[in-house]
Amino acid sequence: MVLKVIKSFRPSRLATIVLFLLACVFATLGTWQEQRAMEKAELEQQHQNADALSLKTAIAQESRFASIDVSGRYDPNRHILLDNQIWKGRAGVYVFTPFYPNGGTAILVNRGWLPLTDRTSMPQVPTPKHEIVLKGMLNTLPVPGRILGSADQLKQEKWPQLVTYLNLPDISASLGTPLENWVIQLSKSEADGFDGREWKAVFLSSSRHKGYAFQWFALVAACFVMWIFIGFKKTTRK
């Protein structure tokens, strides 16, 4: 009598269902990452091809990333410090100072990063008091990844003020003046700014999202390979 070992493909129903559902989840996540990559690529292209415009024209055309030169004055005493900002592994704040263009509506200027280790003692924010020509890039207000709790209560008599995210109506009310729904990111060449002014179009690049998409689709392939592997059963026959 000779015993012969034969392999046959008989995957279990449970394994098939579980691996199929996992593959669907991984494929959905991979597709979402690809869509994010396309969106980020468009923003990166827009950032590279942005024109140099006046502040008024850039806002009217909603021209994000436009390079601008604008004359006016800073508010030398009142600053908004956006908390929980990391630069080169150090905790600190981004400094937003109101800027009053000649003949225009006030706008916040992101002047860069300052260290903050003690929240009971705010950093000094040296600011020119004379009229200047400001150079920077127009951008939308920074959007927090997650908002926990209500907005910070701003006080008109206490400056600078620390906030966890920018709430434009509250800031406008505390300053007593309307604000444009935009910010200017101060150019790195400007002397009245601080660290961390390597402005980018996006936080995560399109290539990073493509890498994430590849990983998710690789997991889809892994599910298929696993389904094939565990589907073969050994049987013994005479």
Q: Could you report the per-residue pLDDT of 94-133, keeping only the tens digit for each?
A: 999 999 999 889 999 999 999 987 777 888 899 999 999 9
Instruction: Tell me if the pTM is above 0.95.
Output: no
Do residues 85 and 93 lie in contact, with contact meaning Cβ atoms separated by under 8 Å? yes
Domain ranges of the chain: 4-43+207-237, 66-144+154-186
- pLDDT at 238 (0 to 100): 56
Do residues 65 and 50 lie in contact, with contact meaning Cβ atoms separated by under 8 Å? yes
Give the orientation angle of helix 206-231 with respect to helix 13-48, to 10 degrees.
Answer: 170
In which element (H, E) is residue 163 found? strand 161-163
Sign of CA dihedral 143, 146, 151, 157: negative
Asked if pLDDT for residue 28 goes beyond 60, the answer is: yes
Tokens linked to 229: 């592997």
Mean pLDDT of 128-139: 92
Mean pLDDT of 143-168: 71
β-sheet bridge partners, residue 52 = 67
- pLDDT at 6 (0 to 100): 58
Longest dimension (CA), the chain: 104
Do residues 55 and 135 lie in contact, with contact meaning Cβ atoms separated by under 8 Å? no
How many residues are given for the chain?
238
3-class state of residue 147 by DSSP: coil
3-class state of residue 82 by DSSP: strand
